[in-house]
Structure formats: structure tokens, C-alpha cells
Amino acid sequence: MGGAAWAAANSAERRLARAWADDDADRFADVLLHADLFLPGFADDGASGQRLLTRERGGRTFLLVYTSVEALQEAIPAVGVGWRRTTFAELAGSWPNPAWGLAVSPNTPIGAYLDAEQVRLLGEEVAAEPPFAPGGERERAMRAAQRAGDAEVYLDLLVTADVLLPLAGPAGADDLGKPGFPWLVQRAAGVATVPLFTSRQRLRDVWPDSADRPAVVEVPLLSVVRAWPGAAYRMVVNPGSPMIAEFTGAQVPDLWRWAQELVLRRTSASQSGSENEPLAEQPVVAGPRMRRVQALVDPSVALGWLAAGGGRISASVGPAGAVGILDGYLVRWHEDETLGAATRPVVELELPYGAQLVRLVAGQEIVVATYDAELSWWRPSIMSVLRGEAR
């Protein structure tokens, strides 16, 4: 650990630490079974796939896995880019050797060694659960938060998500909030409910036959909240799936307030991180160092991204900071310092997940959208939705 005080890097590690402190093996196992795990390794030369890393202990072999990227990179700096996200269920379903055990973040205070028999029994437990295929990384994280009882993480992901809203008649996304919008209202236990979904997969959970499936519009969750038909209507997110969530009509406005609090939390964290003083109780993490860079974007390119998607840029890149213009657009993102000089020209560079499109208005910066590389699409920022500038 290099002498630095250990700090949990995510909610799963915090819950694992509490389980350790309470000597609660059952709770520790439950969190582990439903948390995201990070599998280190190196790509095999001339072969596809990943060469797994193991550790010998007491004459037995243990597969190494970590509960956060930070724990992985601190333990094995050389594999900064040689890891993949997984789950216990995925690991158990393709276990490489029945004689191996599992070493979970052994370099941390929450480290654990599971022998081969424990891995087998836990694998059987998780295999007995109904199969669930997430519709992307966001749903995977939302499901993990639900299983772990982490309402804060779940709500953060939900209020920043785009959702599919089924319709009872013809309409477009721009009609949401207008009089006569065709909400699809269903009755459940005598209560009027409005279903919505976080992916096409969850929509198909309810309507597997395309002939019966209603038309939908894809809109930000906060747009739905802003246009909600009233307190008499219950919101049901992902009905018919293991990751169902329900909100009474009186609770729906709380999602808006939660989004406002999220903006304040992120703004506070950003301001704290911008100071030159190091944050207290944050260990130094070994591995690749990241830097923030930016590039000016022609307004026609920016508006094209927002209208049709896409995230390739040809421009002059430089360190993030003041740009010396009053009006226009720029894009900012984080990248590995090993890519070379921060100041350089790029041609057809694919922007990474989380890149931010920023609009400059009279010298003031407004984050317009965030790039989803998985979908090659720009998601409106929470601030834009809260201001009523995006739907």
C-alpha cells in the first residue's frame, strides 16, 4: 500500500469494508456477488483474449481480481490498460481451472481469498438467479446498485439516463409536455401507472412480440419528470424485469430535486478538484496518469454532432484551459499522458466516452452534452435539461 491510507474507491468497496468491520461474511459475499469486478491481465501475443494473472499462496493457485480499477493499478501498475470489467457470475460461468481459488483485492484491507470449493458454491448460488442481460454499461451499473441496496448510485444513474417512453398514439419526442400527449397508461392493483424503460432489451421483456410492441420515444428521464401527468400516476421503470423500480406520483418530483442535488455535488467536486492543493485522504494511485485536453470545434460540426451523433474530430489539441474567444464551441476530454505531447494536431480522432461539448457564450462556459462512445451519441447535460434547453 506504499504507506498511504487506504480509501474505498467506490460504493461496493465501502460496503465490503463495512461487512469486514462487522465480521459479516454473508453480507460480504452478497456484495461481492453483485458488484462490478476488474480482471487484470495482458493480451496474449498472436492470440485474442487475455492472459490471466494468478498468485500462489499456501501451495494453491488463486486467480486475481479487484474491486476497483484503483486497487488493481496500485497492486499491478504495469497492467494499466490490461484489464476488463466483469462480474462474479461471468467469472464463475467460465472458470479457467476447477482447482483454482479466487483472490479478491488482496492488496487492500478488504482483501479475501476464496478457495476452490467456496468459488464453486458461490458460483452455484449466483447461477441459480434468473438470467439478466444488461442493455449496456449503464444498466449493468444500475442493476449492481439495486442488488447492493445503493440507492444513491442508482438514482444518479437514473436521472442522467435517456429512457424509452411507450405511446398510446402517434407522437414525437418534441410533443412531450404538450396538451394531449398520448401517455400509455396501464392499471396495476387499481393504480394508474406509466411504464418506461432504460433500454430496448427491457422493453422486449414486456413486449417480446414486435407486433404487439407500442411505439416509443427516446427522451431524457428528466424530460419525462418535467412533463409528468400528475400525482395520480405511478412511474414504473423497467416493469417485467429483475431491475424494476417504482415511484409514486408524489415521489416523481423528487427525481427532479435529486438531479439538482447531483449537479451541486458534481460542481462542488469539480471545484475542489481544480485547486492545486491535494485532496485529503486520497491515496496516490500508481498506473497511467491522465490529463485533460481540449480542442475548438466549428459550430457546424458541434451542431451536427448534437443532431446526428458522431464523435470524430480533426483539430489542434491542447491542454484544457482558457481559449481566448468569447463565443463558440469546444470539446474537452481526458486522455493518457503516454499518448505524447498534449499540444498536437489530430485527424479523425474518435473522442472517448465522457468527452464534454462546451458552448462559450459571452465568455461563459456551458456544458451542452456528454459523449456516449458506446452509442456514438451526445447526451444533453443535466444542466441543459434543468434549464429547459433540452428534451
Query: Is 48 among the domain residues?
Result: yes
Closest by CA position to 257, among listed 220, 225, 230, 235:
225
Map grid coordinates 493480451 to a residue: 43
The verdict on 250 and 179 lying in the same domain is: yes
- b/e per residue 55-69 (b: at least 16 CB within 10 A): eeeeeeebbbbbbbb
Asked if residues 257 and 222 have their Cβ atoms less than 8 Å apart, the reply is: no
Please state, in angstroms and rounded to a whole number, the distance separating the CA atoms of residues 325 and 17: 48
The pLDDT value recorded for residue 258 is 84
pTM of the model: 0.47
Could you tell me if residue 1 is inside a domain? no
Q: What percent of the chain has pLDDT over 90?
A: 36
Grid coordinates given for 123: 458460483
Q: Are residues 142 and 240 in the same domain?
A: yes
Whether 267 maps to a domain, the answer reads no
Q: What does the pLDDT look like over 283-319, one tens digit per residue? A: 333 334 567 889 999 999 998 898 888 899 999 999 9
The vertex-149 CA angle with 233 and 355, nearest 5°, equals: 85
pLDDT digits (tens, 9 = 90+) for 223-232: 999 999 999 9
C-alpha–C-alpha distance, residues 80 and 217, integer Å:
40
pLDDT band at 45 (very low <50, low <70, confident <90, very high): very low
Q: Which amino acid is at 264?
A: L
Q: Could you tell me the sign of the dihedral formed by the alpha carbons of 15, 18, 19, 20, in that order?
A: positive
The answer to whether residues 253 and 336 belong to one domain is no
Residue 278 belongs to some domain of the structure: no
- Residue of higher predicted confidence among 166 and 70: 166
Measure the CA–CA gap between 363 and 57, rounded to whole angstroms.
59
123 in a domain, yes or no?
yes
Average pLDDT estimate for 159-184: 95
Q: Are residues 155 and 222 in the same domain?
A: yes
pLDDT of 83-123, one tens digit each?
788 889 889 888 999 999 999 999 999 999 999 999 999 98
- If you count them, how many residues does the chain have? 391
User: Does residue 141 sit in the same domain as residue 253?
Assistant: yes
DSSP for 171-210? --GGGTTSTT--B--EEETTEEEEEEBSSHHHHHHH--ST
**DSSP string covering 97-154:** -TT-EEEESTTSTT-EEE-HHHHHHHHHHHHTSPP---SSHHHHHHHHHHHHT-HHHH
Domain range for 239 is 137-257
